[in-house]
Amino acid sequence: MTLAVENVAGEGIAGVLLAGGLSRRMGGGDKCLRDLGGRPILAHIVERARPQVGALVLNANGDAARFDAFGLPVAADVVEGYAGPLAGILTGLDWAAQSAPDAVWLASFASDAPFFPEDMVARMTEAVEAEGADLACAITHGRTHPVFGLWRVSLREDLRQAMVEEEIRKVDRWTARHQLVEVDFPDIQTPAGPLDPFFNTNRPEDLEEAVGYLT
């Protein structure tokens, strides 16, 4: 089935929201559906991601109906067994090739980090074009955030082979094979002070902390 594509911005760029994990540190379930300031975390994520791309899909496993309120197509992992974020990336690349055929790039966003930059995709696009790179990922304070990235759609068969035939699961093991540019992002200002924009709500205490950063 071909899913409808919503063209908003980011011509030539599709986006995937990664929500296919098991959320063990949050006690299981969909951590992206937990409340943050009166709205699900995922609502904050969609609000930031949607304007940055031309088409957006949610990567999640299980019954897709639980995400109906967000009005997004939902795609389950194309590699079985909860194979980690690379499975979500490959799922997004496959979805883009089918449902957003004009997309050259796929932007990926974690679904537990509600403060990521509103210019993330623009800055990554500028970086890959300047460097002639195949991939980009975010970095703050010397720490990389590989699931916040930009991926050339034409690499999807290379990634599929790495996952299926070589059983590669670590993101950096696969990206090391290609030209990757790291894009450094500054802290953002919040009511509670400076914040790493890729702060994530992995644990219940992180979610409590995040409330103080809402504007």
> Is residue 1, in this structure, part of any structural domain at all?
no
Q: Would you say residue 2 has pLDDT above 50?
A: no
- Supply 155's token pair: 């690499």
- pLDDT value at residue 25: 45
> Is residue 102, in this structure, part of any structural domain at all?
yes
CATH number, domain containing residue 93? 3.90.550.10
> Is residue 3, in this structure, part of any structural domain at all?
no
Q: Which residue has the tokens 């809402």?
A: 214
> Is residue 8, in this structure, part of any structural domain at all?
no
Cα distances from 126 to residues 2, 66, 70, 121, 129, in angstroms, run 30, 36, 29, 9, 5
How sure is the predictor about 49, in pLDDT bands with cuts at 50, 70 and 90?
very high
> Is residue 183, in this structure, part of any structural domain at all?
yes
> Is residue 7, in this structure, part of any structural domain at all?
no
d(CA 13, CA 2) in angstroms, rounded, equals: 18
* Residue-wise pLDDT tens digits, 5-24: 333 356 799 999 999 865 44
Cα distances from 190 to residues 69, 88, 117, 147, 193, in angstroms, run 28, 30, 13, 23, 5
Q: What is the pTM of this model?
A: 0.91
* Residue-wise pLDDT tens digits, 127-173: 999 999 999 999 999 999 999 999 999 999 999 999 999 999 999 99
Total tally of structural domains belonging to the chain: 1
> Is residue 4, in this structure, part of any structural domain at all?
no
> Is residue 40, in this structure, part of any structural domain at all?
yes
Domain with 123, as residue range(s), is 13-211
